Amino acid sequence: MTFSGVSLLALFLETLFYGVFLTLYWITLFILLKKSGIQRELLIPVVTLFLCLATAVRVITPFRKKLNTVTSSI
């Protein structure tokens, strides 16, 4: 496979897994909001932090790849 083909496959798989994670986040949040106690107080912030980190990685990845291309050509 060519580099562009592999990059396109990686982008597709990243998007697919991010979508799965986003769906699981909302299901988990729905379940945890019905509960009370330490499970709710501890797990909701942790799961939300994971979502924020996954979103940050999704946003930063295209810029990181573009930066690597620019610096490798110098």
Integer Cα distance of 9 and 30 in angstroms: 32
Please give the angle made by the CA atoms of 53, 55 and 58, to the nearest 5 degrees: 110
What pLDDT, in 10s, does the model give residues 20-67? 999 999 999 999 888 888 888 888 999 999 999 999 988 887 777 666
**pTM as predicted:** 0.71
The C-alpha atoms of residue 37 and residue 5 are separated, in whole angstroms, by: 48
pLDDT at 71: 60
Burial 57-70 (b: 16+ CB within 10 A, else e): eeeeeeeeeeeeee
pLDDT of residue 36: 82
CA-nearest of 23, 44, 45 to 35 is 44
